[in-house]
Amino acid sequence: MSWKLEVVFIPVTDVDRAKAFYVDQVGFHADHDHQVTPELRFVQLTPPGSACSVAMGTGITDMEPGSQRGVMIVVEDVEAARAQLIEHGVDASPVDVQPWGSFVTFSDPDGNTWSLQQTRSD
């Protein structure tokens, strides 16, 4: 039996603002945006090359906006990923080099935090 992590919920206050941030600035692909009912909107976005997506919207989670912490995306080149974020107006941290990998952090407009990780190859 395989277990696949496919969707992580990201709680936001303004769905359109968050969608624009993740698509236009971070580079995620917009998979779905459905207004199911007046109380339920489902937006699904996927990082490039990822098998796992994020979902946001209205009526889909009871988490407080900005409360998602520590979602991590593995990248091949953390310096290039950081440069891409900064080029698109994202406030990304300097690269933090640790014995187990190199990391860059950033937050979305609501304060949900993300880490980019480049694993060590040795």
> Residue 2: inside a domain, yes or no?
no
> Residue 1: inside a domain, yes or no?
no
User: In this predicted structure, what is the pLDDT of residue 59?
Assistant: 96
User: In this predicted structure, what is the pLDDT of residue 122?
Assistant: 58
User: In this predicted structure, what is the pLDDT of residue 20?
Assistant: 98
Q: Where residue 59 sits, what CATH number does that domain have? A: 3.10.180.10
User: In this predicted structure, what is the pLDDT of residue 109?
Assistant: 98
Name the residue with tokens 């600035």: 25
User: In this predicted structure, what is the pLDDT of residue 87?
Assistant: 98
Contact by Cβ (8 Å): 10, 108: yes
Q: How far apart are CA 24 and CA 98, in angstroms?
A: 30
> Residue 105: inside a domain, yes or no?
yes
The domain containing residue 28 runs over which residues? 7-119
User: In this predicted structure, what is the pLDDT of residue 121?
Assistant: 72
Based on the structure, what is the number of domains in the chain?
1
Q: What is the pLDDT along the chain (122 residues), one digit of tens a residue?
A: 999 999 999 999 999 999 999 999 999 999 999 999 999 999 999 999 999 999 999 999 999 999 999 899 999 999 999 999 999 999 999 999 999 999 999 999 999 999 999 998 75
User: In this predicted structure, what is the pLDDT of residue 60?
Assistant: 94
